[in-house]
């Protein structure tokens, strides 16, 4: 887990005063509208620097300092809380967490009975007051003593029922946020109404909760984590009670709260949630560790800012603020012209980021981006970094509009602007070398010896104008190329000939159809059984394939129409012509391989593969493993969830194995799995 940014050193009263002003400005922005001129790491580091200076110079502490104040003292409210609504203290490493836990146990005079570990949700803390089971009032945390009445927004918050399942008086405490899907939908709605997109989900949640009289509705989500009016319950039991009342909690998520009896288990769960972070459908900025026992909580008590029995183990920020220096326009192998942001280098989640995706020209326009903007950048797990929004309030007037290309930046031909993603009118021919190199790769046609350099030679010599030309090449033509001897020529010709009979899914994947990949190509091939049946399918028929919706089906049909001349040429050369299903509509005929799969040992199973395979499976690529699973009747999956039915765990299986064991999913070694599917191994 990455270490948090080191705190800056404040060496003088002037440095300290400037740091206080910066922290107050950042806290005010963060706790009022969700925006901030600082990233989370920078803000946390600044607060630690202030605390260090104030501890060394107690006589110089400024009254405006955010230290020790709920929400940094940045917000107030006019609705008093029945019980103070506090913040949490933070720790930034396993060692700091261990020290905090030891301090709590010293205060209690005995070991903590148990701990509860749950995600620290990146939203806005609220209190929801119920009378006789009916929601009466929704209030922000404010300064912890009083908050702002936002009851007008309650009907748009999922997980916060208007009526509980029991007619009781209770005040719920929890977090309101925008999930990833809600955030994307919110910005689509705002753009359609001429409004500026939200910079990030927290900004969106803050703005939505406070907004009144909008001509549109944006849904949010509530996760409850506490309550007043349900005394005597330990924390884990309280969360179950909230769920029984019909309240949304994190218990339904992969990062569900977990009761741990030792600090070792706590640390392990923190690491697990950190790994799960990129897969969660909502943002988190840490993990909360609480003494589970209500008796321990009561005995430990609270300070003016935070309870002594709970702490937040902060994680490295996935959002940072940096500067947009330029935009590059790159052409992909299918002719798509993709913009890429060039950034002032910034470290996000332990990785130095200098480039980020901008998706398409419409995305740039929607986000109102300009060269020179200070921008929010997000990186979740291994996902490509993405520019989310500019900090419009920080513009100086020196920013410049982003110039969109007038012609294809690679070949100079015209641009097709009919779709949101612009494309060179030459399509795949604009990047023919890239298309050929992809098609002959190991997981597609597997033509060894025909890598990038050789593909460049063939294209530049005019010997290959599309994929089908590979099967017209002669021995003499290869020998005429630089550094091609007789042995390498014969080997390459043999590899090209062998590729003529590759399975349908490999041939289809080699086409590089937009909206498909290796997994989708297998599903399409299994569903239709022949290239002729695939080409004859309309969008409605294609949409019946698992994982293909209406929009993707439309794109695939259009792609196949564009590829029709190439497909005709491939068929004339005997490539992709193998038929594994009767020449009839897919809905009225079942292919033999489908019948075999339905009766296979993995029929109906969702199988996840992780780690390094050993034994009979040692030489298989991950794609070949997925093909094996589907031949045996199963469905290959990339993530461990409740829908998974089996995990094949090789060497260095990592967190997926731990998660599968936690969910009770059977775990198989590669050797055990090989024995199970022995009849389907090639």
Sheet-wide strand order for 220-228 = 134-140, 124-131, 170-177, 220-228, 157-158
Under a CB-based contact definition with an 8 Å cutoff, are residues 218 and 156 in contact?
A: yes
Return d(Cα 544, Cα 524) in angstroms, integer: 10
Q: Among 417, 312, 374, which residue's Cα sits nearest to residue 91?
A: 312
> Rounded CA gap, 221 and 208, in Å?
12
User: Is residue 353 within 8 Å of residue 324, measured between CB atoms?
Assistant: no
For 32, other C-beta atoms within 10 Å of its C-beta total 16
Nearest one of 199, 196, 133, 134 to 166, comparing CA atoms: 133
Structure tokens at 142: 């404010």
Alpha-carbon distance values, 471 to 367, 563, 569, 608 (Å): 47, 17, 10, 37
DSSP tag of 71: G
Q: Classify 16 as helix, strand or coil.
A: helix
Q: List the one residue out of 195, 165, 171 whose CA is nearest residue 80.
A: 171
Which three-class secondary structure string do you get for 519-539? HHHHHHHHHHCCHHHHHHCCH
d(C-alpha 342, C-alpha 170), whole Å: 51
Measured between alpha carbons, how far is 137 from 592 in angstroms, rounded to an integer? 62
120 part of the active site = yes
Contact 311, 349 (CB under 8 A): no
Backbone torsions φ then ψ of 367, nearest 5 degrees = -85, -5
Active-site residue, selected from the candidate residues 69, 120, 290, 656: 120
- Taking the C-alpha atoms of residue 5 and residue 46, their distance in angstroms, rounded to an integer, is 10
Q: Which of 47, 48, 50 is nearest to 16 (CA)?
A: 50
Residue 367 contacts residue 324 (beta carbons within 8 Å): no
Instruction: List active site positions.
Output: 120
């Amino acid at each position: 887990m990455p270490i948090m940014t080191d705190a800056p050193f404040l060496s003088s009263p002037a440095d300290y005063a400037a740091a206080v002003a910066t922290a107050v400005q950042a806290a005010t922005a963060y706790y009022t509208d969700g925006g901030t001129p600082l990233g989370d790491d920078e803000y946390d580091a600044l607060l630690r620097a202030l605390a260090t200076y104030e501890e060394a110079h107690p006589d110089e502490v400024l009254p405006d300092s955010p230290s020790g104040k709920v929400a940094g003292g940045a917000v107030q409210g006019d609705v008093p809380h029945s019980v103070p609504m506090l913040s949490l203290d933070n720790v930034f490493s396993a060692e700091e967490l261990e020290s905090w836990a030891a301090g709590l146990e010293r205060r209690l005079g005995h070991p903590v009975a148990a701990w509860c570990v749950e995600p620290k949700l990146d939203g806005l803390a609220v209190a929801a007051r119920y009378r006789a089971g009916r929601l009466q009032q929704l209030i922000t945390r404010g300064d912890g003593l009083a908050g702002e009445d936002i009851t007008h927004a309650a009907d748009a918050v999922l997980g916060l029922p208007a009526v509980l399942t029991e007619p009781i008086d209770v005040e719920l405490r929890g977090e309101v946020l925008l999930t990833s899907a809600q955030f994307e939908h919110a910005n689509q709605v705002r753009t359609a109404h001429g409004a500026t997109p939200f910079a990030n989900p927290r900004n969106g949640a803050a703005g939505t909760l406070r907004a009144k009289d909008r001509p549109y509705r944006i849904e949010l989500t509530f996760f409850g984590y506490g309550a007043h009016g349900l005394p005597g319950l330990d924390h884990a039991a309280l969360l179950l009670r909230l769920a029984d009342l019909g309240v949304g909690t994190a218990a339904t998520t992969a990062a569900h709260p977990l009761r741990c009896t030792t600090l070792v288990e706590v640390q392990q769960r923190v690491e697990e949630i950190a790994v799960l972070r990129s897969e969660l459908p909502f943002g988190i900025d840490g993990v909360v560790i609480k003494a589970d026992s209500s008796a321990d909580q009561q005995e430990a008590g609270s300070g003016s800012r935070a309870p002594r029995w709970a702490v937040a183990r902060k994680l490295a920020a996935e959002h940072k603020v940096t500067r947009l220096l330029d935009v590059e326009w790159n052409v992909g192998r299918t002719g798509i012209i993709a913009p890429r942001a060039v950034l002032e280098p910034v470290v996000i989640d332990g990785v130095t980021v200098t480039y980020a995706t901008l998706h398409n020209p419409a995305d740039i326009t929607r986000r109102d981006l300009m060269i020179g903007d200070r921008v929010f950048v997000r990186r979740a797990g291994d996902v490509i970094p993405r520019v989310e929004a500019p900090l419009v309030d920080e513009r100086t007037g020196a920013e410049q509009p982003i110039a969109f290309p007038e012609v294809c930046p690679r070949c100079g031909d015209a641009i097709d602007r009919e779709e949101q993603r612009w494309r060179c009118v030459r399509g795949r021919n604009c990047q023919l070398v890239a298309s050929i190199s992809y098609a002959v790769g190991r997981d597609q046609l597997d033509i060894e010896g025909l890598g990038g350099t050789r593909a460049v030679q063939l294209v530049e010599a005019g010997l290959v104008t599309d994929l089908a030309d590979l099967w017209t090449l002669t021995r003499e033509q290869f020998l005429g190329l630089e550094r091609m001897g007789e042995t390498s020529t014969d080997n390459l010709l043999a590899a090209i000939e062998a590729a003529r009979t590759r399975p349908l899914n490999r041939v289809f994947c080699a086409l590089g159809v937009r909206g498909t990949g290796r997994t989708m190509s297998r599903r399409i091939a299994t569903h239709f059984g022949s290239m002729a049946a695939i080409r004859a399918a309309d969008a409605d028929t294609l949409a019946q394939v698992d994982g293909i919706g209406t929009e993707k089906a439309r794109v695939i049909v259009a792609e196949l129409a564009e590829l029709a001349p190439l497909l005709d040429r491939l068929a004339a050369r005997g490539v992709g012509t193998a038929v594994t299903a009767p020449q009839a509509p897919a809905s009225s005929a079942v292919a033999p391989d489908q019948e075999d799969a339905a009766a296979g040992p993995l029929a109906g199973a969702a199988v996840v593969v992780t780690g390094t395979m050993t034994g009979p499976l040692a030489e298989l690529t991950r794609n070949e493993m997925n093909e094996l699973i589907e031949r045996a009747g199963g469905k290959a999956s990339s993530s461990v969830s409740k829908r998974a039915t089996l995990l094949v765990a090789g060497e260095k299986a990592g967190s997926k194995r731990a998660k599968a064991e936690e969910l009770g999913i059977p775990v198989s070694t590669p050797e055990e799995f090989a024995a199970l599917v022995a009849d389907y191994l090639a």
